[in-house]
Amino acid sequence: MDPLIACPECDTLQREIALPRGGRAECCRCGETLYRSARGGLSHTVALSLAALVLFIIANSLPIAALDLGPGGYTQTTLFGTVEAVRGQGRPFVALMILWTGIVAPALEIGAMVYMTLPLWLGYCPHGLSHAFRIAPMARVWSLMDVFMLAVAVALVKLGDLAHVVPGHALFAFGALIVLLTAVGILFDPREIWLHAEANKAGRFAAEARQ
């Protein structure tokens, strides 16, 4: 029997149907959109998630920016170095917020996405899939890298009058990472994840899980 799906608007139960690429299913009663076909397939989500993981490592390993103070010296810092500097100035709460929204939450989101999509794409269902499925959207809400990047950009512009500002490679990596995470959020389809999980458990992953 075909699986049943409840309309989120009127709660009408109806059977799921196969959709062509780019198609969508509507409720037979109220016309509400029930689900859409995969937008790009699981392989695109896997590729973007892995690319986001690489950029996240680069962004947190290299300096965000450097200040050339002339004869007075030269200084640079990473994102974690910024957290340490803010904590050292007697603002532990601000440092904790930067750590959570700029490092921990994005790491949880990217890690959960890779943990979910890569095993499914390879043809097996990972343990604790439901936990990762809950962690990803929760972490996405708290991930505020775009806000942090805006604050960094404003600070660098203001410091331009006092010293020569040299943007670091991590700054560009963070910018690309924000774009990638936005694309991952757009492509992420919860229904597609569970369909692949069920197909893998049933042993039908050879051709289906890679579509």
Measured CA distances, 140 to 61, 120, 181, 204 (Å):
22, 21, 9, 31
Q: How many separate domains does the chain show?
A: 2
Predicted pLDDT at 2:
62
Which amino acid, 164? Answer: H
Predicted pLDDT at 115:
93
Predicted pLDDT at 110:
94
97 in the same domain as 196: yes
Predicted pLDDT at 162:
65
93 in the same domain as 29: no
pTM to 2 decimals? 0.75
The domain in which residue 30 lies consists of 1-37
CB-count exposure of residue 134 (10 Å: 0-12, 13-18, 19+): exposed
25 in the same domain as 103: no
Predicted pLDDT at 53:
95
Predicted pLDDT at 82:
80
Predicted pLDDT at 206:
40
52 in the same domain as 16: no
Query: Could you tell me the CATH number of the domain that includes residue 171?
Result: 1.20.140
Per-residue pLDDT of the chain (211 residues; tens, 9 = 90+): 567 788 878 888 888 877 777 678 888 889 888 877 666 568 888 999 999 999 999 988 888 877 766 666 667 778 888 888 888 888 889 889 888 988 899 999 999 999 999 998 888 888 888 898 889 888 888 888 777 777 777 777 766 666 677 778 888 888 899 899 988 888 887 777 877 787 777 765 444 444 4
164 in the same domain as 75: yes
135 in the same domain as 85: yes
203 in the same domain as 189: yes
